[in-house]
Amino acid sequence: MDNKDLNYLFDNIPHKKQNKYDENIITTTAGIQLNFLKNSVYKYKIRNTKRKYLKKIDILRIDNSKIGTVLNPFYPTTSKIARELTNDKLKTEQILNNFGISTPQSQVYDKDDIDFAYEHTFNQNLNKVVIKPLASSLGRGVRTNVSKARFKHNWELAVSAIKEKDKRIVVQNYLEGFEARVTIIEGAIESIVVRVPPYVKGDGTHTISELVEIKNKDRVDCYYLKRMPIILNERIIEFLLSHDLDVNYIPKLDEPILLNSVSNVSQGGELIEVTDIVSESVKETSLNALASIPGVNTGGLDVMMTSFEDENPAIIEINTYPNLSIPSYPTFGVPKNPAKSYFESIISVDQFVNNPKYKYNIYYEEEYIRNYISFMNRKKKLLDNNIDNLKELYMKF
């Protein structure tokens, strides 16, 4: 993401007023799930696991028989193979490419292969790249928009951020545009939320450093953002340096200054709900991407697009246990209720398939069932059209 993308977003989104959330909001995915169930008519049971913080949620029919169990990181409709495939970024990339879905093009290197990676990368005529640990999460160690001159410095920073046993590094071509999280619940798009990296807008008077202090005070009004202030760390300083700026620069009036190109709200970013203004091509690509992974109906997809009408968006990553706080607490736009959509969809499909004697009365039951059947048909069509390529690919795995 760059400053021109920031300008595009704020020129084209209908939402101008920042949402405010009080201090009582629940932000963990498990907490959001349980809070919905506690305030619903649906039966459920909580069971302990060996880890005190991790609970099993049994979804129950009216007669107390079990529909399925939610246990982080699995939904009852998610298979182990789906989890394994999506945890491996390279396998996910290969599968999506076989279905004609665009992704970044990745190369994997050992952490000590810095010189080889440098030569190999820039022999491919790439001007900017992304460097990130293969096994990282939450944006840890990700360095984007990296130039040839800053490649080795950013490589070392990515390596130093690795906490996992797997120490390999991924280098990808840098994709222009902005990133959105598409949340799909049992085959239906629940929300599309642009994840905006931390930024400030100039007033012609204050430095970037001072504008960050002012913005952090404004974030206090939104409790969801209050706990995630913008911190002028090494990553931001490095990003500004790559754009010939520093924290003492005074932006012009209304001049947007991106502080980082990693789209993560935990690092001081913001969330913009754009479901109703995104084109069908973006939605169709997202649904096809999730449908291409065997054994998964619910997921969060990171999608890169150059505009809301992008005809060929790229899928960056697929998560089979998406963070429900993203659609629940957008900074701008209408909040969604993903926990409601998930549990009501699961129960609706169960009642349709198993026809229990006693049924819950679910207002949108027919819509949930239609969405589920449509998604199953999508999966079958994709598989039928690509079966030969997939046989060859899976043999490599």
The CATH number given to whatever domain includes residue 345 is 3.30.470.20
Q: Kindly tell me the number of DSSP H helices and DSSP E strands found in the chain.
A: 13, 14
Residues 274 and 320 in one domain: yes
**Domain-located, residue 330:** yes
Residues 10 and 65 in one domain: no
* Percent of the chain topping pLDDT 70: 98
Task: Say if residues 282 and 313 touch (Cβ distance below 8 Å).
Answer: yes
Residues 66 and 19 in one domain: no
The two structure tokens encoding residue 330 = 């957008």
221 or 114: which leads in pLDDT: 114
CA distances from 109 to 104, 120, 172 (A): 16, 10, 11
pLDDT over 90 (residue 394): no
pLDDT over 90 (residue 369): yes
The two structure tokens encoding residue 40 = 């619903």
Residues 357 and 385 in one domain: yes
Residues 25 and 9 in one domain: yes
Number of domains in the chain: 2
What's the pTM value of the predicted model, to 2 decimals?
0.91
On the CB side of 397, how many CA atoms lie within 13 Å of its CA?
17
Distant-in-sequence, close-in-space partners of 204: CB < 8 Å, separation ≥ 6: 250, 251, 252, 253
Residues 54 and 183 in one domain: no
Residues 25 and 40 in one domain: no
First and final CA of the chain: distance in angstroms?
A: 33
Report the relative pairing of strands 106-109 and 169-173 from DSSP bridges. Answer: antiparallel
Q: Which residue has the tokens 């204050």?
A: 206
pLDDT (average), residues 344-353? 98
In this structure, what DSSP letter does residue 159 have?
H
At 53, is the pLDDT very low, low, confident or very high (cuts 50, 70, 90)?
A: confident
pLDDT (average), residues 307-330? 96
**Domain-located, residue 251:** no
Report the distance separating Cα 295 and Cα 77, nearest Å.
7
Report the distance separating Cα 364 and Cα 369, nearest Å.
9
Residues 18 and 65 in one domain: no
Residues 34 and 14 in one domain: no
At 134, is the pLDDT very low, low, confident or very high (cuts 50, 70, 90)?
A: confident
Cα–Cα–Cα angle for 72, 343, 87, rounded to 5 degrees:
30
Residues 325 and 375 in one domain: yes
What's the mean pLDDT when you consider all of the chain? 93
* Percent of the chain topping pLDDT 90: 76
Which of 60-69, 254-263, 337-346 comes out lowest in average pLDDT? 254-263
Residues 48 and 25 in one domain: no
**Domain-located, residue 239:** no
**Domain-located, residue 18:** yes
Which of 57-71, 154-168, 295-309, 369-383 comes out lowest in average pLDDT? 154-168
pLDDT over 70 (residue 138): no
Residues 278 and 320 in one domain: yes
Report the distance separating Cα 262 and Cα 247, nearest Å.
18
Report the distance separating Cα 337 and Cα 59, nearest Å.
18
**Domain-located, residue 143:** no
**Helix 365-396 with 338-354: angle, nearest 10 deg:** 90
At 137, is the pLDDT very low, low, confident or very high (cuts 50, 70, 90)?
A: low
pLDDT over 90 (residue 220): no
**Domain-located, residue 162:** no
Tell me, what's the pLDDT at 87?
Answer: 86
Range of the domain at 16: 1-29+83-99+176-197+270-397
**Domain-located, residue 124:** no
The two structure tokens encoding residue 267 = 């690092």
pLDDT over 80 (residue 12): yes
109 has which bridge partners? Answer: 169
**Domain-located, residue 388:** yes
Report the relative pairing of strands 143-147 and 188-196 from DSSP bridges. Answer: unpaired
